[in-house]
Homo-oligomer: A and B are copies of this chain.
Amino acid sequence: MQRANDSISAALAVIGDRWSLLVLRGVFRGLHRFGELRDDLGIASNLLTTRLNRLVEQGVLEKVQYQDRPVRFEYRLTDAGRDLSPVLVSLMQWGDAHQMSGNAPTTLVHATCGAPIENVTRCTQCREDVDATAIRNTNDHQLETT
């Protein structure tokens, strides 16, 4: 990561505050209704409303009606929202390693085989795992013009 990359700023403009990420964590965990999220997070209703509206606006969550009388809505991940899974998994993995002294309070497992999952950075060609020191940044436009 040697040069500017605007994609990180753009991503953070959508989910770059602690509450938004905690709301998304809740929805990933199966909490879909306003009251469930409010009780889980201990967040003030007005703050939760702001975050949910913004996540819907940004296309990360969608508001779905689940009841007619009275009208009631719940919040579901869109495809773009589901694609945030690696961000939450990598945050959790880092928290396990560096904030919990390696004692993970919960473990994420692969549904089909039950073994723990891990978040890794990998080369698309040689398929090797790549650590931070082996990552370089290429500015595509620059390459095209040299």
Contacts and interface: CB of A to CB of B under 8 A. Distances in A.
Interface of A: 1-14, 16-18, 21-22, 25, 28-30, 40, 59, 77, 80, 82-100, 104-113, 115-126, 128, 130-141
Interface of A, helix, strand, loop or mixed by DSSP: mixed
A103 to B, nearest CB: 9
A120 B4 contact: no
A91 B82 contact: no
A128 B111 CA distance: 12
A104 to B, nearest CB: 6
Given A110-B134, A110-B136, A115-B124, 6 more contacts: A10-B95, A16-B17, A17-B17, A112-B126, A115-B125, A120-B122
